[in-house]
Amino acid sequence: MVFQNSVAPAAFVLICCAIMAAGCSGEQPVAAPADVVYRCGETGEFVSAPPQPAPAINPHTGRATLQRALYCPRCKRWHVVPPPDVLNGPPAGYPCPRHNTAMQEQGPLPQ
């Protein structure tokens, strides 16, 4: 009788530990990188595509014609920025050529 009373709580604890261990792998799910804005050197159009080294591949043409662009909320324009290997630092640190204020990666795409 004493054996049955001690096995049930131990089995319950063991099952709870197994369930918790299965859900705690320790790895966080990796989010897909957000698309960035590029300007096509051939057409002048702005394109949203996954991050890639410049010149990036245009998903519409398949050619490497895309240059990274950042948005200036002050002049409400997208500006092409140099590739990261030309200027050190994060791309969002590039100043607007007109206002000399920091540009950002998000903004409305031109129609």
* Domain contains 25: no
CB proximity list for 41: less than 8 A, separation 6 or greater: 55, 65, 66, 67
Report how many domains make up the chain: 1
Asked whether the whole model's pTM tops 0.85, one would answer no
pLDDT truncated to tens, each residue of the chain (111 aa)?
A: 444 555 555 555 545 545 555 555 555 555 556 788 999 999 999 998 889 888 999 988 899 999 999 999 999 999 999 877 776 666 557 899 998 988 998 888 876
DSSP structure string for 28-67:
PPPPPPPPEEEEETTT--EEEE---SSSEEPTTT-SEEEE
pLDDT of residue 72: 94
pLDDT for res 106 = 87
Within a domain: residue 75? yes
Is 24 inside any structural domain?
no
Does residue 87 lie within any of the structural domains? yes
Residue 19 lies in a domain: no
Q: What is the pLDDT of residue 34?
A: 79
Kindly state whether residue 52 falls inside one of the protein's structural domains.
yes
Domain limits at 46? 36-93
Evaluate the CA torsion angle 92, 96, 99, 100 in order and state its sign.
positive
